[in-house]
Chains A and B, each alone.
Chain A
Amino acid sequence: MPSKKSKNSAKRQVKSKRNPAPKRKPKPASQTKTQVRQSREVVYAVRIGITPTGKRRTEAEVKAEVAEALEAARKKLTAEENIGAHVEGEGGYLGLGVEWPWLFVTLAPLVGHVAKGFVEGAAKKMGEVIGEKLLELFFKELRERHLSPGPPTPAPGITSVTVPTEKPPAKSRERATGKKGRRSPSRR
């Protein structure tokens, strides 16, 4: 019985004879050297310490949980309150029980220049109020995930941030190629 590897390589050879390997599609602009990012005005910015507790987790897992918590919190806002918000860990993850500083910002709505005056006034104020409400909801979601948030402290001087433009999530390689999940690298 041929080994799995040789079977696969035979398959590949046959396939390549019949259908020459398709040329790789050029990458979209957003995935090349200059990824599309945009500068957005910040209406509310605070720094929070998040202390992971509970079970053992990697940095990537904690990051994913924080992102999930923010998404869950945003879903609890009403349609009128829907506001752009981002969080980002500053520095590295040191482990369970150690506070990890994160920046939390809410963004001003994207509007045309006609409405700019409005944004600078009333909408900004409203943005701050929604920002505080969202932060409260976010904290609740964090706690549910065994991520203990510390008291927010002002993040002075952060008036704008550069964030990636929203785009549909890319298809995972495994799903796209039909491959089985790759063995995770073992770590020392």
Chain B
Amino acid sequence: MPDIPQFDPSFEDTSLQAQFRILVALARALSHGLNQPATFLAFERAGLSGNQVVGHLGAIIAAHIEDGVEEVNAIDGIWDAAFAGPKFRNTIGPCRDILEAIRAQSLAELPKPNSFFDLATANAAAHRFTKETLKKHGLDELLPAEPARVEIFADLTAVHFCAGTSRMAHKIRWAYQQVPHALEGLLLADLILSHEYLSHLVPINSHLDQSVREGWLVSALRETFQSVPSVPRWKRALWVDHRSHLYRHFLKVQESLPGPPSAVLFEGFSALDEQAIRLHAKSTTQFWKFTGAILERPESQEGAKDIAWLLYEIVRRATEGIDHLMSRKHMDIDDLVDYWDS
């Protein structure tokens, strides 16, 4: 049985825990509702999408939290505000029934004592998913045998990434942030934690940069879960919105910084994502051969620079870059560097 998440001292405040429990109750109810086949049709007929419903509730709860939420029973007011808003106000028929059912279920979830256990379940699922993915390509030895411990910390100024990983302590820290996309984060917890495993715990080289961890490896994860039936369609769609909300938030933080601009990238070189999609679509085997070569690259700053340079070349060479990767029998980073550097 997975371990219940630990709390960082910053998350010991009971009102923060109450806010988190509200988010969990909403996430559970929404997840249940969105998993029903009839839900999408009903939402579509009312001119709504699953993402819009999640986004609307996320924005309302963030606004309530900003005004001060100390008790879990504040959830009633959140739902009232949601139904008073333009998105839900005029809903009728099956769409209204489904929203009411989600509301009722979220209220029923609140008294359950194990709110924090959801992150532990998501963590176990993420570890399993990452292992299965890597196993298909003979890379599962890279994943630590046991799931990492999850710790929740409060990031009330929301200046950190939504999760952070410590390789040496084998721990993933989940940031509780009072932002509109926090609800999305909880709904996608298993995928976000899978990203922490694949991008931050699996690669041997700790020096890999943003282009690898937040670019290429995020594409690897997304292309994988887009093609497996175990990940429901609504999650795949929500992932796209969530990444864009994170990016916007990242830009907002960047813009608010004093002094000279920082050389910080969100997900590496632009167009790297398109190249990853192209290679994956042409051959999953070649894609994972190359990805495996990155993941197995030994610890070294020079090695990380080589990979960053290779990814840059893959973008720069466009179709020729992909064609060359397609033609390779053995995918060795040194050979690739030598080939393109000659």
Binding site for B on A (CB under 8 A): 5, 8-9, 12, 24, 27, 30-35, 45, 52-53, 55-60, 63-64, 86, 88, 90-99, 101, 103, 105, 153-158, 161-164, 170, 172-174, 179, 182, 184-188
Contact = CB atoms under 8 A, between A and B. Distances in A.
Contact of B299 (A35, A55, A158): A35
Interface in B272-310: 296, 298-306, 308-309
B4 to A, nearest CB: 12
B166 A96 contact: no
Given A57-B263, A94-B253, A188 B269 contact: yes
Given A60-B207, A157-B6, A162-B167, A93 B149 contact: no
A146 to B, nearest CB: 11
Contacts of B206: 88
A167 B10 CA distance: 37
Q: Is the interface of A mostly helix, strand, loop or mixed?
A: loop
A98 B306 contact: no
18 contacts: A24-B332, A31-B298, A32-B298, A35-B298, A60-B301, A88-B168, A91-B175, A92-B161, A95-B262, A96-B260, A157-B149, A158-B169, A161-B168, A162-B167, A173-B337, A174-B302, A187-B269, A188-B265
B164 A35 contact: no
Given A31-B298, A157-B149, A185 B262 contact: no
B299 A164 contact: yes
A99 B159 contact: yes
Contacts of A94: 159-161, 250, 253-254, 262, 264
A122 to B, nearest CB: 25
Contacts of A184: 305, 309
B309 A97 contact: no
Nearest to B162: A91
Residue among B166, B168, B171 having the largest count of chain A Cβ atoms under 10 Å? B168
Interface in B221-272: 250, 253-254, 257-265, 269-270
B257 A96 contact: yes
A182 B265 CA distance: 21
Nearest to A86: B168
The bracket for how many chain B residues form the interface is 35 or more
A123 to B, nearest CB: 21
Contacts of B305: 182, 184
Nearest to B170: A162
A62 to B, nearest CB: 9
B149 to A, nearest CB: 7
B168 A91 contact: no
B163 A91 contact: yes
A129 to B, nearest CB: 22
Nearest to B260: A56
A181 to B, nearest CB: 10
Nearest to B165: A90
A163 B210 CA distance: 22
Contact of A154 (B9, B139, B149): B9
Contacts of A93: 264
B334 interface: yes
A30 B313 CA distance: 28
